[in-house]
Structure 1
Amino acid sequence: MKPYQAILIRDCGEPMVPIPSDRVALVQPHPYQVLGAPYGDQSPYCLRSGVLAALLQAQARLQQRQPGWKIQVFDAFRPLAVQQFMVDRTYGEQVQARGWRAEALTTVQREAVMAEVIQFWAVPSDDPATPPPHSTGAALDVTLVDASGAAVNMGSPIDEVSPRSHPDHFAASSVAIEQRFHAHRTLLNQVMAAAGFCRHPNEWWHFSLGDQLWAWQRQQETGRQDFLAHYGRASVDLWVQ
């Protein structure tokens, strides 16, 4: 259990709404759908209405800083089945990257791989008290595109399981291109934070507002213990028809 999962949830009941592709950029086709992730009839490009409003505020701030640039949403909502699909896939990739065979792993090896995976992926939970952040409609993975629509180089791809994914990995670098990577990550964080989002401690691309992780981070930042999660797992009846 991660520390933030102890945060109490009092879901405010906000609806899930689609992210407008004319206001922010969306990765098309969706990366996990291409892999065969089981979304069914639920769109990955949906958020709670209050979270979407904050995202559009962040986009407006980005326009003030870098005219023509857009926030690009890589991923937002994930059903639990998709979360499990991606955890299993990432686990398999990490086993393969080590040159191991899944069926021959020792207990120590399995635990070592999973420890690395869960730095970046929340283990799916059916318990309504501990939903994965992306299953709440309050978390999203984002990057930047410039005025021509080209991806801004952030120094590592989204979902990379490596130290390069940590937000401040390039902060102390004296290499010019790596300084640029850090500047891009800082810009993204600044516009998102100004709209109320908190960035994941291990991932430059993951931001949330109102979920358990967000509330836990706000507690750590302020020393106040009265931050609660506004959003729990998004149920089917929250979708705007």
Structure 2
Amino acid sequence: MTILLSDPRVHGVPLVDNGDPLVRLDRSLGRHSHVRSGLAQRLADAQSMLPPGVRLHVVEGHRSAAAQAAIVASYSAELCAVHPGISPDDLARLSSRFVAPLAVAPHVAGAAVDLTLVGSDGVELDLGTPIDATPEQSAGRCYFDAVDISAEARAYRELLAGALTGAGLVNYPTEWWHWSFGDRYWALMTGADHALYGPADLRSAA
């Protein structure tokens, strides 16, 4: 059973921030996003595990608390329109398939990236859905283990996963593109004693 970010077990993970600074990712990894330095090193390690002609392409890293809250509000409104009368608990659970509650949001901690693969020409490879396709928009194909995607997309997802898990990251299984290190979800999934990264302020970036 998939553990969602709204699960109390995620909220219950202790946090002991190790102080790794936010750093700007090298342009070779995509947009100039900021992430914690420990995550940046692991992304570089993952890149080295990919075959020639294929590379990581980061679309987003650190996100402000305000931006996170805005995404939660927007997607929650969409869900309320689709499910009139939905209970607060069900709304929190459904919304967390696509956007993390602010209190445990990996992006706000600088602990997560949304990313894909590109070829040597810089064109994104087909991993089954666009990044940030909601479960509703993609009919569930945004889930990493979705079965109704092409063999090519499945192979690219497995290639991405092999490199990123090999570098110590974990995937959020409802979003094939979302990978993290050091946050509460990572700690729960890996059995770590505590999370390494809490909310981070971009004004303190290295």
Match of residue 117 from structure 1: 95
User: How many residues were matched structurally?
Assistant: 196
Among residues 189, 200, 204, which one is paired with 2:161 in the alignment?
Answer: 189
Match of residue 22 from structure 2: 16
Runs of 4+ deviating beyond 3 Å = 92-96, 109-115, 235-238
Structure possessing the higher radius of gyration over alpha carbons: 1
SS of structure 2 residue aligned to 1:216? helix
Tell whether 2:182 aligns with 1:216: no
Instruction: Note the aligned Cα RMSD (angstroms).
Output: 2.1
Q: Which sections of structure 2, spanning at least 5 residues, go unmatched?
A: 1-5
Which letter maps to 2:29? V
SS of structure 1 residue aligned to 2:127? coil
Which letter maps to 1:16? L
Match of residue 232 from structure 1: 198
1:76-95 to structure 2, matched below 5 A, reads 76-95=61-80
Give TM-score scaled by structure 1 length.
Answer: 0.74
1:144-183 to structure 2, matched below 5 A, reads 144-162=117-135, 163-170=140-147, 178-183=150-155
SS of structure 1 residue aligned to 2:39? helix
8 A contact 2:64–2:201 mirrored in 1: no
How far is 1:56 from its partner?
0.8
- Quick one: structure 1 residues 231 and 112, their matched pair in 2 at CA, closer, same or farther if it must change by over 3 Å? closer
How far is 1:95 from its partner?
4.6
Give TM-score scaled by structure 2 length.
Answer: 0.86
Q: Which sections of structure 1, spanning at least 5 residues, go unmatched?
A: 27-43, 126-130, 220-225
Match of residue 34 from structure 2: 46
Question: CA deviation digits over 1:123-162, x for unaligned, max 9?
Answer: 223xxxxx31111111111101111111101111222222
Q: Percent identical across equivalent pairs?
A: 30
8 A contact 1:211–1:230 mirrored in 2: yes
- Quick one: structure 1 residues 94 and 227, their matched pair in 2 at CA, closer, same or farther if it must change by over 3 Å? same
8 A contact 1:208–1:214 mirrored in 2: yes
